[in-house]
Amino acid sequence: MTVLDADYRSMSEYPETERLASLFDEGPDAILVVDEDSRIRRANDRVRDLFGYEPEELVGSSVGVLVPNDVDDHASLVDAYFEDSESRPMGAGLELQARRKDGSTFPVDISLSPVESESGESAAAIAAVRDVSEQQSLRRKYRTLLDTAPDAAFVVAVDDGEVLEANRAAAALVGEPEDDLVGRHYSDVFPEGPNGRYVDLFSLDPGERVRSSRFENGDDILVVTDDGDRVPVEVSAQRVNVVDDGVVLAMLRDVSERREYERELNRQIDRLERVAQVLSHDLRNPLNVAEGNVELAMETGDTDRLRAVESAHDRMREIIEEALTMVRTGSDIETVDAIDVGEFAAQCWANVATDSASLDIVAPGIVYADEERFSHLFENLYRNAIEHGGENVTVRVGVTDSGFFVEDDGPGIPPEDRESVFELGWTTEDVGSGLGLNIVADIAAAHDWTPTVTDSDSGGARFEFSGARAAPYDESFTVRDDGGENGGQSEREDPQR
């Protein structure tokens, strides 16, 4: 037995259709039974609220009375449905309109289901019509919000996680067109997929909001771009109801600059804390020496004691200067200049008390660096060589294709200590502050150089800096007066050659 027979008798006459009849009479949607000739055979009471017609007025009428006048292909759509009838939404992807008795129109969603005759052929279709005016109004509101929002915005379906809408900022953040984002599961833009902790960000109760840029364990919330990059974001999400459909409106803000600022701030705080530790420890000894000798000089009148006070003051001055240099050299480099290493290294040598030590520029060339911090690097390496290699040490400097080096012929650094030499406070000498090589490491990091320690040919310490933009001189290399590079013989002589 079927829902409708040839005479279209009442649906309730057939026991197997009692449940369907109940839905027909009590459902929230306006329901119409339409035959192959586009005639309305039944209509429930909801048509009164939706269309302004009494159900009896519609029975026997063409369904076209409910179609706006500007729709001219409705009859062909009805024919096409009965040729291949199945349960499906009408006009999927289209914005459908219906017409009220007073001629006004309103947006609708229509779901179609076939009703078979006794012969098994489709005799009619049940059309469930729902007014989506409120839904469209809310969609327009959040579409306006999406279009005007400076942050990446996604509208996500609660039931299946599908991205319903995405704005231009979202496309720019992920690196894909807006249309490619719509229709996918929202977790595609996150690194852990649909089963990870990112799901909780969008598992919200009605009206619930969440705003976070980190998980509880401190990990950043990340978006994966089309290029595979991971961008830290702050997520602001709220679940809202659009008529009967729940959606999550999520705004994602790129916080890369904020994270970099936080990292730099933490580096500065860490650097200041380390300097405070060094100063509180290393200044105490020369200060005690100075105080003790001043007291003895006052008690005995032995002015020779003041020479020890002077030495202690010099040592304190050196520690303070190194500490200040450490604080100032940690920030990122904004600009670099082409520096003639031979000439520059000699200038830095003149700024250090070198006693009988000597400097040899074994491989001159150009290195691009921040001049002030480059000088601090050389001077600290020179002092380190003299402190550990003695007053007669020879220091050699050279430029390579991948960077530059500074080496000496002193006792060298044991292999087991080479990974820790750049740590704050590392020194093998009682007079050392342990700041010098840490300053060198900070300067290298600010330039994106990689410092390593190995043996020189003479068995001393060799500090290599790779990743620098460098060019060693050869017979075809020239440095112009304006700092540029030409072919030909070198126009500057190395002052140490």
DSSP state of 333: P
Instruction: Report the C-alpha gap between 191 and 209 in whole angstroms.
Output: 22
Determine which helix (DSSP H) or strand (DSSP E) holds 348, and give its type and residue range: helix 341-350
pTM, two decimals, is 0.47
Whether 485 and 366 have beta carbons less than 8 Å apart is answered as yes
* Cβ count within 10 A of residue 456: 19
Distances, alpha carbon 37 to alpha carbons 59, 66, 73, 385, in Å: 13, 15, 15, 101
**Short-list 339, 338, 336, CA closest to 347:** 339
Q: What length does the chain have?
A: 497
Please give the chain's pLDDT, 497 residues, in tens.
333 433 344 444 434 445 556 667 777 889 999 888 889 999 999 999 999 999 999 999 999 899 888 777 777 777 777 777 777 777 666 788 999 999 999 988 888 888 776 655 557 888 889 888 877 776 677 777 777 888 998 988 888 888 888 888 999 999 998 888 888 888 888 887 666 788 877 788 888 888 988 988 888 999 999 888 999 999 998 888 765 567 888 899 999 999 988 988 887 787 777 777 666 656 776 788 788 889 888 888 888 888 888 888 887 887 777 677 666 655 667 789 999 999 999 999 988 877 789 999 999 999 999 998 898 899 889 988 988 888 899 999 999 999 999 999 999 888 888 887 887 655 655 555 557 788 888 889 889 999 999 999 999 999 999 999 999 997 555 545 444 555 433 344 443 33
DSSP state of 166: E
**Short-list 223, 225, 226, CA closest to 234:** 223
**Short-list 442, 456, 471, CA closest to 360:** 456
How many CA atoms, within 13 angstroms, populate the side-chain half-sphere of residue 117? 12
Instruction: Report the C-alpha gap between 5 and 18 in whole angstroms.
Output: 15
Instruction: Report the C-alpha gap between 220 and 97 in whole angstroms.
Output: 46
**Short-list 448, 447, 273, CA closest to 376:** 447
